[in-house]
């Protein structure tokens, strides 16, 4: 076991993916797996998987593979999701609504317990088990609930300001859906979900068949 | 300029992030920038940015920085989003609805032009300018429109089967919101958006303060 600082973000980022595959194996009733099998399922090399896991101790013996349930439990402990984290959602547009109602959080360690918006039409309305609260209640509610995690689903123009409010209230992890890069103190972790950035990454690899897209302009520089 | 194969996915993945920052600079009326300034905004080292961009040619001169509009146009050409790509959305739950109605795609290279679901209650209903089509229409509609890109927002249990249908219809890039790893032919690109995986990656770095989370179990293995 090495210190937190020594393990790269990229390695940590793969652990939830391993966990997801292990969860699937458990559902399928499989009790033992191998780095080879996990690698096949995930499109990651078995050597990479063994190396990633070796940062955290010995999980399997050469030749006998990994005990699925044990590795699953260990990864949940390492990622600190062997408990349930309360999460705030800020912004109740289409996306915030989808996040607040999403059923897949609870079984994987997270429960949305507070939802905020600044629209008087939305404040006070019900969203699943929750009631949309005004932004003015954000500080008190988040501190009272000891919420450390928030999902930010407000328009880009408001994202930094809301981010500042969240950090002031003690939030230390933000999943940001607004397409801007946030400025945060060093002890606040931010992950970005920008579907367009993912799409743009894939079009790089697509053929330039004129039937498949509409050429709008050739760029101001050409 | 080097061949497509020589540039890692990780480098390509950063280009949309650079593009987003450049777009913001354009909005702010700034005409010249530097790898140092971009790095500050993005939390990426300036050396990394210079190295990434150097794969694609010379964009700036030592000491004079980058012309924002030129670099922006070049990156759009490299990523092939100097045109508009048609995109299909499959699955009209909360998330699919949010994706189909999201206004941020068009200005960044993508337009949702087909929406599918298998729920008779949803088929035929309007979603923005579009009408929800049945899954049985998927093949004909996607081939007729030459759609190469799809966003998959169906439950995990259906995701692989729908993925197969999309690939059969000619889709070559899939943004998958279902929390499973898809099997696809080598020439189909898949990106995954699993908010829980991002949350789990961040909890690794959070303190284990007992006030901040509810311990549910100590793991079956302990």
Spatial contact of B81 and B108, defined as CB atoms under 8 Å apart? yes
Instruction: Please report the pLDDT score of residue B219 as a whole number.
Output: 45
Q: What is the mean pLDDT of residues B3-22?
A: 84
Of the partner residues B146, B151, B221, the one whose CB lies closest to the CB of residue A212: B146
**A188 to chain B, closest Cα gap in Å:** 9
Instruction: Please report the pLDDT score of residue B220 as a whole number.
Output: 43
Question: pTM of the predicted model, to two decimals?
Answer: 0.86
**B80 to chain A, closest Cα gap in Å:** 6
Q: What is the mean pLDDT of residues B190-207?
A: 93
- Would you say residue B5 has pLDDT above 60? no
Expressed in angstroms, the distance from the first to the final Cα of chain A is 54
Instruction: Please report the pLDDT score of residue A117 as a whole number.
Output: 98
> Could you tell me the pLDDT band of residue B221, with boundaries at 50, 70 and 90?
very low
What is the DSSP track for chain A?
A: ---GGGS-HHHHHHHHHHHHHHHHHHHTT--EE-HHHHHHHHT--HHHHHHHHHTT---EETTTEEEHHHHHHHHHHHTT-SEEEEEEEE--SHHHHHHHH-TTTGGGTEEEEEEEE--TTTTT-EETTEEPEEGGGHHHHHHHTT--EEEE-S-HHHHHHHHHHHHHTT--EEEE-SSSPPP--TT-EEEE--HHHHHHHHHTTS---TTTEEE----TT-
- Would you say residue A140 has pLDDT above 60? yes
- Measured between beta carbons, the chain A residues lying within 8 angstroms of B99 are 195
Please judge whether A85 and B203 are an interchain contact, meaning their C-beta atoms are less than 8 angstroms apart: yes
Instruction: Please report the pLDDT score of residue A207 as a whole number.
Output: 85
- How many angstroms separate the CA atoms of B212 and B206, rounded? 10
- Would you say residue B218 has pLDDT above 70? no
- How many angstroms separate the CA atoms of A153 and A163, rounded? 11
- Measured between beta carbons, the chain B residues lying within 8 angstroms of A73 are 219-222
- Would you say residue B198 has pLDDT above 70? yes
Range in A40-44, B80-84, B85-89, B183-187 with the lowest mean pLDDT: A40-44
Share of chain A above pLDDT 70, in %: 92
- Measured between beta carbons, the chain B residues lying within 8 angstroms of A202 are 149, 173, 175, 189, 191
Q: List pLDDT tens digits, range A158-202.
A: 999 999 999 999 999 999 999 889 999 999 999 999 999 999 999
- Range 125-154 of A in CB contact (< 8 A) with B: 146, 148-149, 151
Q: List pLDDT tens digits, range B48-102.
A: 999 999 998 877 766 778 999 999 999 999 999 999 999 999 999 999 999 999 9
Q: Which residue has the higher pLDDT, A206 or A222?
A: A206
Instruction: Please report the pLDDT score of residue B124 as a whole number.
Output: 97
Please judge whether B87 and A199 are an interchain contact, meaning their C-beta atoms are less than 8 angstroms apart: yes
Q: What is the mean pLDDT of residues B38-57?
A: 90
A87 touches chain B (CB under 8 A): yes
A61 touches chain B (CB under 8 A): no
Instruction: Please report the pLDDT score of residue A221 as a whole number.
Output: 39
3-state secondary structure of B177: coil
Range in A58-62, A203-207, A211-215, B157-161 with the lowest mean pLDDT: A58-62
Q: What is the mean pLDDT of residues A11-32?
A: 93
**A115 to chain B, closest Cα gap in Å:** 16
Instruction: Please report the pLDDT score of residue B64 as a whole number.
Output: 79
Q: What is the mean pLDDT of residues A14-20?
A: 94
Instruction: Please report the pLDDT score of residue A217 as a whole number.
Output: 53
Strand-strand pairing, A149-152 and A83-90:
parallel
Please judge whether B221 and A17 are an interchain contact, meaning their C-beta atoms are less than 8 angstroms apart: no
- Would you say residue B217 has pLDDT above 70? no
Q: Which residue of B has its CA nearest to A107?
A: B196
Of the partner residues B24, B200, B211, the one whose CB lies closest to the CB of residue A109: B200
- Measured between beta carbons, the chain B residues lying within 8 angstroms of A60 are none
Q: How confident is the prediction for chain A on average, in pLDDT?
A: 90
CA angle (A124 as vertex; A118, A130 as ends), nearest 5: 105
- How many angstroms separate the CA atoms of B52 and B57, rounded? 10
Residue of A191, A203, A208, A209 to mutate for B, most B C-beta atoms under 10 A: A203
Question: Which strand (E) or helix (H) includes residue B139?
Answer: helix B138-144
- Would you say residue B2 has pLDDT above 50? no
Q: What is the mean pLDDT of residues B194-209?
A: 91
- Would you say residue A3 has pLDDT above 70? no
3-state secondary structure of B213: strand
């Amino acid at each position: 076991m090495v210190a937190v600082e020594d393990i790269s973000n990229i390695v940590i980022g793969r652990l939830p993916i391993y966990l997801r595959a292990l969860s699937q194996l458990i559902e399928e009733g499989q009790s033992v797996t191998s780095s080879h099998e996990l690698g096949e399922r995930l499109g990651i090399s078995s050597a990479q998987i063994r190396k990633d896991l070796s940062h955290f101790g010995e999980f399997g013996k050469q030749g006998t593979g990994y005990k699925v349930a044990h590795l699953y439990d260990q990864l949940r402990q390492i990622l600190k999701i062997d408990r349930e984290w309360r999460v705030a959602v800020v912004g109740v547009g289409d996306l915030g609504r989808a996040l607040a109602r999403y059923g897949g959080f609870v079984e994987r360690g997270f429960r949305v317990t507070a939802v905020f918006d600044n629209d008087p039409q939305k404040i006070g309305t019900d969203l699943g088990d929750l009631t949309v609260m005004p932004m003015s209640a954000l500080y008190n509610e988040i501190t009272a609930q000891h919420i450390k995690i928030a999902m930010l689903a407000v328009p880009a123009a408001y994202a930094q300001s809301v981010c500042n409010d969240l950090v002031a209230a003690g939030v230390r992890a933000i999943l940001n859906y607004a397409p801007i890069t946030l400025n945060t103190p060093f002890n606040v972790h931010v992950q970005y979900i920008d579907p367009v950035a993912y799409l743009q990454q894939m079009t790089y690899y697509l053929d330039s068949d004129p039937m498949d897209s509409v050429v709008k302009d050739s760029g101001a520089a050409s």
